[in-house]
């Protein structure tokens, strides 16, 4: 019997600040102590909203992609708007 992959990811909103007509959202993402992040692991935020391409920043060892149809694990895909970007960060180290 196949088991869906999962991890215990804890996203935290660190700060939000206005920048002209836009906003900068700063997040931290951690995994619980009994989990590990390995090369190829990733997470996707579906329907992120007004993502401005090229303004994302991620730590060393992480790559960034943003698609209208996001990368999804599991057997039940999330309900997502196909017109709103889904940013994905992938661990590369």
Residue 31 forms part of a structural domain: yes
If you search the block for the tokens 């990733």, which residue do you land on? 42
pLDDT of residue 23: 85
**Residue 28 located in a structural domain:** yes
Question: Looking at the 3D structure of the chain, how many domains does it have?
Answer: 1
Q: Is 34 exposed, middle or buried (0-12, 13-18, 19+ CB in 10 A)?
A: exposed
Q: Tell me the per-residue pLDDT of 45-76, one tens digit each, with 9 for 90 and over.
A: 888 877 877 888 888 999 999 888 766 666 56
Q: Render pLDDT for 6-50 as a digit per residue (tens, 0 to 9).
A: 667 888 899 999 989 888 888 888 988 888 889 998 888 888 877
pTM recorded for the entire structure = 0.75
Which are the contacts of 20, defined by CB distance < 8 A and separation ≥ 6? none
> Can you give the pLDDT at residue 7?
63
Name the β-bridge partners of 86.
67
* Domain assignment of residue 83, yes or no: yes
Which residues have CB under 8 Å from 1's CB, separation 6+?
none
User: What's residue 76's pLDDT?
Assistant: 61
Asked if residue 4 belongs to a domain, the reply is no
C-beta separation of 39 from 91 below 8 A: yes
Instruction: State the residue range of the domain holding 68.
Output: 9-91
Confidence of residue 84 (pLDDT cuts 50, 70, 90): confident
Q: Give whole-number Cα distances, 1 to 4, 75, 77, in Å.
A: 10, 13, 19
In a domain, 2, yes or no: no
Residue 1 lies in a domain: no
**At 58, is the secondary structure helix, strand, or coil?**
coil
């Amino acid at each position: 019997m196949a088991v869906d992959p999962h991890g215990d990811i804890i996203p935290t909103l660190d700060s939000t600040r206005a920048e002209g007509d836009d906003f900068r959202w700063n997040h931290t993402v951690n995994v619980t102590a009994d989990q590990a992040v390995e090369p190829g692991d990733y997470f996707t935020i579906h329907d992120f909203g007004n993502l401005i391409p090229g303004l994302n920043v991620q730590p060393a060892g992480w790559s960034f992609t943003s698609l209208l149809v996001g990368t999804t694990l599991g057997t039940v895909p999330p309900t997502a708007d196909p017109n709103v970007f889904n940013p994905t960060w992938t661990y590369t180290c």
